[in-house]
Amino acid sequence: MDQTAGALLAAKPPLTVLLAGPRGFCAGVDRAIKIVEEAIARFGAPVYVRHEIVHNRFVVESLEAQGAVFVEELDEIPDDGQPVVFSAHGVPKSVPEAARARQMLYLDATCPLVSKVHREAERHHANARHILLIGHAGHPEVIGTMGQLPPGSVTLVEDADAARSVSPPPGPLAFTTQTTLSVDDTAEIVAILQSRFPGLSAPTKEDICYATTNRQAAVKAIAGRSEMIVVVGAPNSSNSVRLREVAERAGCPRAILVQRGRDFDPTQADGLRTIGITAGASAPEVLVEEVVSRLRERFAVTIEEVIVAEERITFKLPAALMGDRQPEPVR
Alpha-carbon gap, residue 276 to 257, rounded angstroms = 12
Catalytic residue annotation = 141
Alpha-carbon gap, residue 211 to 31, rounded angstroms = 14
What's the angle, vertex CA 170, arms to CA 165 and CA 172, rounded to 5?
Answer: 100
Q: Is the dihedral of CA 197, 198, 200, 204 positive or negative?
A: positive
- CB-CB neighbours of 35 under 10 Å: 25
How far CA 221 is from CA of 16, 218, 241, in Å, comes to: 15, 5, 18
Alpha-carbon gap, residue 308 to 331, rounded angstroms = 46
Alpha-carbon gap, residue 307 to 305, rounded angstroms = 6
Alpha-carbon gap, residue 93 to 63, rounded angstroms = 26
**Cβ–Cβ under 8 Å, residues 233 and 239:** yes
Element (H, E) at 123: helix 112-126
Alpha-carbon gap, residue 39 to 315, rounded angstroms = 16
Alpha-carbon gap, residue 286 to 58, rounded angstroms = 10
- CB-CB neighbours of 271 under 10 Å: 8
Phi (first) and psi of residue 193, to 5 degrees: -65, -40
Nearest partner of 321 among 37, 78, 120, judged by Cα: 37
> How many helices (H) does the chain have, and how many strands (E)?
11, 12
Nearest partner of 26 among 282, 307, 288, judged by Cα: 282
